[in-house]
Amino acid sequence: MENKIDGLEDLRDLITNELNISRDNVPSIGKEMSLDASILFLFLTPEKSDPETKGIISLRNDSFVCKSLREQMSRMSIPEKDVLVWNLYGAYGIKKFTKKIEMDWLRVLNTLVKSMDNLKVIVGCGGVVWKSFYNLRSDRQIFLLPNPELSARNLADGDQMARFDHTWDNIKKIVVARQPVVLREVIAGTQNKLKDSIESIDTDKLKNIAGNVEKKFKNTIEEVEKSDLPDQLLKAKNEFKSFWRDTWSPKSPSDKDKK
């Protein structure tokens, strides 16, 4: 079963033929997704990834799950074509999750993974999916990330939402790090921003600010000079005055040599 498939419609044929499941129970996959994706989001069943049971797994579905994914993709600037959503158990109506059933579906998953040449990250949504990764096989390096099940109840919890955000932060880091050209662009962009920031500094303005600060300190010292102070405060004032003058007064080369 673990030969490659050529397209996502072939995945439906594989499930129908190999697992003897009615094609009507196997969801189709949105045209916006393909085997070229670098990120695979894996849910437990179609009821989880397609809670409205429309019969199609699509990032464009108007469900809480899909909206949550789209929001994160937008936040991370990850295009649709880079994400594929699928399920560990890829048919509607599966109620029993015996070891044999799990291994049958894992063979399907291994075929899917083998067919995704650009795959970098697999995200397991929920504990059952995450544990199944123990039996996932691949002859190349693929990062496996855990993620809470996507539901309004789960993501209303601050800790779970933080985990979801953290997962996407890691996805972005992995995908960028695995694309040298993109990584170079990110570095170059950062360098340019830093250069622009430095060039935008008004040196004359900085000098004026420094001059104003010095003037205010001198005025403060002069005000203190006019005051009657206890001996301890007078000593502290004189030490501060000496420190200020040593710091701000221009020094000749001979002064520097004496230190």
More confident residue, 259 or 213: 213
183 and 244 inside one domain? no
> Would you say residue 54 lies in a domain?
yes
* 63: nearest Cα among 147, 155, 183: 155
48 and 86 inside one domain? yes
CATH code of the domain covering residue 33 = 3.40.470.10
Cα-based distances in Å from 91 to 43, 107, 159: 12, 14, 31
> Would you say residue 147 lies in a domain?
yes
210 and 112 inside one domain? no
> Would you say residue 198 lies in a domain?
no
46 and 159 inside one domain? yes
User: Taking 50 as the threshold, does the pLDDT of residue 60 lie above it?
Assistant: yes
| Tens digit of each residue's pLDDT (9 = 90 or more) over 166-217 | 989 999 888 877 555 544 554 555 556 556 655 666 666 666 766 666 666 5
106 and 210 inside one domain? no
168 CB neighbour count, 10 Å cutoff: 20
- pLDDT value at position 252? 47
175 and 70 inside one domain? yes
Q: Model confidence at 32, in pLDDT bands (50, 70, 90)?
A: very high
Mean pLDDT of 29-48: 92
Least confident range from 22-31, 104-113, 151-160: namely 151-160
Sequence letter at residue 125: C
- Determine the structural domain holding residue 229 and report its residue range: 203-249
> Would you say residue 53 lies in a domain?
yes
